[in-house]
A and B are shown apart, each in its own frame.
Chain A
Amino acid sequence: MGSRASTLLREEEIEEIKKETGFSHSQITRLYSRFTSLDKGENGTLSREDFQRIPELAINPLGDRIINAFFPEGEDQVNFRGFMRTLAHFRPIEDNEKNKNATTSEPLNSRTNKLLFAFRLYDLDRDDKISRDELLQVLRMMVGVNISDEQLGSIADRTIQEADTNGDNSISFNEFIKVLEKVDVEQKMSIRFLH
């Protein structure tokens, strides 16, 4: 197929994306090529169907939640900037050492932002709280038909009990961070991008 990828992406755009996400020049052009190969409609944006065409993603139990993370509230199309912004969350934290001229605000791939990404996978209605209902729904996605409602309910109850500190029967982002403070988030939520 050999798309004319690098010629369609302007140098200024590459620089902007570099500043915002911390990816290197060659990584950005390589990912742009991937973006265009997924964009079957050739209109510069990806729709949900474009993602679902990837078989290995379609068989992932949380595939739909992951795809959803790319699309801002209420939108059906994601452009290359949005694509890169979401992928930037998965850059390894060590890579930031090499790119000292990143923005002064917190980089997209900081530990907190990675945790926020995972939190939003659970938080279906984006109200900054994981309710029992939402947890149940996500659990159901992960286990399919193999576990009964009662068992799943008790798993959800126990999880909320352990995490909830202010007694509102749901998990806020701070409570989420507390529960996961011993987990090596940096390693588990990172992809090794080659240069």
Chain B
Amino acid sequence: IGYLLPWRLCLGISITVWFTLLFFCTIVPAVLGVSFGMRRLYMATLLKIFEWATLRMEMGAKEKNQELYKPYSNIIAKEPSSSLLQEFQELRGSASCLSSEPEFELADIFYFCRRGMETIVDDDVTKRFSAQELQNWNLLTRSNNNFRHISLRLTVLWGLGVLIRYGVLLPLRVTLAVTGISLLLVLTFLVAFLPNRDEKVHLMCYRICVRALTAIITYHNRENKPQNGGICVANHTTPIDVIILANDGCYSLVGQVHGGLMGMIQRAMVRSSPHIWFERSEVKDRHLVAKRLGDHVADKTKQPILIFPEGTCINNTSVMMFKKGSFEIGCTVYPVAIKYDPRFGDAFWNSSKFGMVNYLLRMMSSWAIVCSVWYLPPMNREEGEDAVQFANRVKAAIAAQGGLVDLIWDGGLKRAKVKDAFKEEQQKLYSKVLVGEMDQNQSDDKHSQDDNPEDANNRN
């Protein structure tokens, strides 16, 4: 037993030190809402290390005369794409527009063939559903294609990185997360008796969660923060988006009722502020959903609602189709753009690849989550604008601010097949080329949800 004592002493001391550090460096600032600036220092140091690592890799590859794999470059140069009608008009020349004879040529097939091949090599949609590829290596094997034993120093650095991330950062973060959630559950219970403190409780718990992920967030244009009686819309990359936004303001969340731990958290949250949780059966009923949302925004004492109109997680390189539901309610919309810096850890949740627990573990063992949040000026639906056009206008504003690609494709294509209507649109256009204009009642609706994606993208 004699030799166990000093060992137990060491253990005891290290645990005490650990917890004191934890307490003073993270929880106290979270409660008080101050920051020591340590996270930014951490960020700057990491960036320097990454640049060095990438340089070493490039030098190492050159020495061994191997090709370095550059995944982020384009495979093909796509022409600034013209629409189907434009291309065939060029082909035929202007004379044929006047002819009433159907003009078919065997060469017409070349257009469809080449376009099809281009999409097989590089298309706009499927790459949005997997993680973005990086330029510099960030010492995580999960984001590297060139990881071979290039040099001893690099491997040692990587090994050190693994040790720090899994041995130090991960346990620390898990402890914080558990603390944060427990505090949330306990305090929201107490707050029911102290009605005016709920905002403070809410913010405090989210701040702890933010530190649990080592999230370094920069908020821009805070004068545009969402107000009561409005809806806040943002692009969706990960469930963590909620924590990022709720860290800076109180929102009412919308979602499905879950069981288990999530359900408990949901019930706890409702005690302190009004959230809108739907039963699974109610989700399909669009009128019911619209009514509940409408009632909530009509009450000016209630917080703004937070909605992600894409409906699914996208990999933060683009913004996909916004579902029109939230834009039909008729209240002020506050757009928010969220852009993650992929160098420190990829925040995108690829739900077909990872479950929630696996995802959280990966998040907590990355270096950090660094992101920028821009609050855009509020927008309202204009005269003569329908919900879909309004949604597209908001989407364009968010994409422009966040430096994301504005796509008209539906995020639901992650799992579902594309609608036949789009192919029929292409066929209709080609028929026009062959036989000229069709009758009036066959012309397509202008502002339908089923707007031809290729042509719409060409217009943008």
A33 to B72, CA, bound (A): 11
Q: Is A118 an interface residue (CB 8 A)?
A: yes
CB nearest neighbor in A for B353: A1
Residues of A contacting B145 in the complex (Cβ-Cβ under 8 angstroms): 2-7, 33
A38 to B119, CA, bound (A): 12
Q: Is B424 an interface residue (CB 8 A)?
A: yes
A151 to B102, CA, bound (A): 8
A6 to B67, CA, bound (A): 10
Residues of B contacting A122 in the complex (Cβ-Cβ under 8 angstroms): 106, 109
The answer to whether A143 and B117 touch (CB under 8 A), given A26-B70, A56-B124, A194-B77, is no
A158-193 residues with Cβ-Cβ distance < 8 A to B are 158-159, 163, 171, 176, 179-180, 183, 185, 188-193
Q: Is B133 an interface residue (CB 8 A)?
A: yes
Residues of B contacting A5 in the complex (Cβ-Cβ under 8 angstroms): 69, 71, 145
Query: Is A151 a contact partner of B109 (Cβ separation < 8 A)?
Result: no
A2 to B102, CA, bound (A): 49
Q: Is A30 an interface residue (CB 8 A)?
A: yes
Cβ 8 A contact of B413, one of A55, A87, A138, A154: A55
Query: Is A25 a contact partner of B119 (Cβ separation < 8 A)?
Result: no
Cβ 8 A contact of A51, one of B120, B125, B453: B120
B65-108 residues with Cβ-Cβ distance < 8 A to A are 67, 69-71, 73-77, 102, 104, 106-108
Query: Is A191 a contact partner of B76 (Cβ separation < 8 A)?
Result: yes
Give the interface segment out of B167-175, B177-185, B365-373, B425-433. B425-433
Query: Is B110 a contact partner of A58 (Cβ separation < 8 A)?
Result: no
Smallest CB separation, A180 vs chain B (Å) = 6
Smallest CB separation, B242 vs chain A (Å) = 24
Smallest CB separation, A112 vs chain B (Å) = 15
Query: Is B104 a contact partner of A159 (Cβ separation < 8 A)?
Result: yes
Query: Is A189 a contact partner of B121 (Cβ separation < 8 A)?
Result: no
Query: Is A183 a contact partner of B71 (Cβ separation < 8 A)?
Result: no
Query: Is A121 a contact partner of B109 (Cβ separation < 8 A)?
Result: yes
Kindly supply a per-residue 1/0 record for chain B positions 392-428, scoring 1 wherever the CB is within 8 Å of any chain A CB and 0 otherwise.
0000000000000000010001000110001111111
Kindly supply a per-residue 1/0 record for chain A positions 98-129, scoring 1 wherever the CB is within 8 Å of any chain B CB and 0 otherwise.
00000000000000000001100110000000
A185 to B110, CA, bound (A): 8
Query: Is A61 a contact partner of B430 (Cβ separation < 8 A)?
Result: yes
Query: Is B69 a contact partner of A193 (Cβ separation < 8 A)?
Result: no
Q: Is the interface of A mostly helix, strand, loop or mixed?
A: helix
Smallest CB separation, A87 vs chain B (Å) = 7
Cβ 8 A contact of B110, one of A25, A61, A87, A118: A118
Residues of A contacting B120 in the complex (Cβ-Cβ under 8 angstroms): 51, 54, 57, 66, 87
Q: Is A48 an interface residue (CB 8 A)?
A: no
Q: Is A60 an interface residue (CB 8 A)?
A: yes
A117 to B458, CA, bound (A): 28
Residues of A contacting B413 in the complex (Cβ-Cβ under 8 angstroms): 55
Q: Is A82 an interface residue (CB 8 A)?
A: no
Query: Is B426 a contact partner of A60 (Cβ separation < 8 A)?
Result: yes
Q: Is B264 an interface residue (CB 8 A)?
A: no
Residues of A contacting B73 in the complex (Cβ-Cβ under 8 angstroms): 30, 194
Q: Is A93 an interface residue (CB 8 A)?
A: no
Residues of A contacting B417 in the complex (Cβ-Cβ under 8 angstroms): 52, 58
A145 to B424, CA, bound (A): 8
Residues of B contacting A33 in the complex (Cβ-Cβ under 8 angstroms): 71, 145
Smallest CB separation, A194 vs chain B (Å) = 6
Instruction: Give the number of chain A interface residues (Cβ < 8 Å).
Output: 64
Query: Is A37 a contact partner of B126 (Cβ separation < 8 A)?
Result: yes
Query: Is A61 a contact partner of B427 (Cβ separation < 8 A)?
Result: yes
The answer to whether A7 and B148 touch (CB under 8 A), given A34-B122, A55-B413, A60-B112, is yes
CB nearest neighbor in A for B133: A2
Cβ 8 A contact of A56, one of B102, B109, B119, B142: B119
A44 to B148, CA, bound (A): 22
B118-145 residues with Cβ-Cβ distance < 8 A to A are 118-127, 130-131, 133-134, 142-145
Cβ 8 A contact of A146, one of B76, B353, B428: B428
The answer to whether A188 and B434 touch (CB under 8 A), given A37-B126, A37-B130, A146-B428, is no
A144 to B106, CA, bound (A): 17
Query: Is A191 a contact partner of B121 (Cβ separation < 8 A)?
Result: yes
Query: Is A56 a contact partner of B454 (Cβ separation < 8 A)?
Result: yes
The answer to whether A60 and B116 touch (CB under 8 A), given A30-B73, A54-B126, A143-B434, is yes
Query: Is B114 a contact partner of A58 (Cβ separation < 8 A)?
Result: no
A37 to B409, CA, bound (A): 19
Query: Is B113 a contact partner of A121 (Cβ separation < 8 A)?
Result: yes
Residues of A contacting B434 in the complex (Cβ-Cβ under 8 angstroms): 143, 147, 155
Can you list 6 contacts pairing A with B, beta carbon distance less than 8 Å? Answer: A5-B71, A5-B145, A59-B426, A90-B114, A146-B428, A188-B111
Closest 6 pairs (CB-CB, A-B): A144-B427, A146-B431, A1-B130, A56-B119, A66-B116, A59-B422
Beyond the given pairs A56-B125, A58-B418, A144-B428, 11 more chain A to chain B contacts, judged by CB atoms under 8 angstroms and listed by A's residue number, are A1-B350, A30-B73, A31-B75, A55-B409, A55-B413, A55-B453, A61-B430, A121-B113, A147-B434, A155-B102, A191-B121
